Amino acid sequence: MSGDWRLIGRGLAISTAGAAASMLAVVAASAAFVGSYATTIGSIVVASILGVVFHRTLTPFLDALDRRSTAVGRNADSSLHSEPAASGQTRLNDPPSQQPVQGD
């Protein structure tokens, strides 16, 4: 699996853990309201475990995304200083001083 797909998979797994923790907390509150205390305790335990997993994995994942975006941005910045396109069209990120003047 390539690095990008691995990051996507990790992100989906982390977000699923966070969403499931939130949903189970709501289930626990609902079960407590109607008096189903076994469901309440089970939901709280599983929600707590998933919440800890989410909390511990989110920051390293976001750091990995930040490192990747910095590396990709560095490669994109180096292409800004190349010559304009041969067809006379400007690239989206060209500063105004590098854009060719269009004649009538």
Whether 98 shows a pLDDT value over 60: the answer reads no
Token couple for 51: 């919440």
Whether 59 shows a pLDDT value over 90: the answer reads yes
- Residue 11, judged by CB atoms within 10 A of its CB (0-12, 13-18, 19+), counts as middle
- pLDDT tens-digit series, residues 13-45: 999 999 999 999 999 999 999 999 999 999 999
Confirm if 37 and 31 have CB atoms less than 8 A apart: yes
Which whole-number Å values give the CA distances from 83 to 88, 92, 96, in the listed order? 10, 13, 14
4, 61, 14, 9 alpha-carbon torsion, rounded to 10°: 10
Q: What is the mean pLDDT of the chain?
A: 82
Bigger pLDDT: 82 vs 48: 48
Q: With cut-offs at 50, 70 and 90, classify the pLDDT of residue 1.
A: low
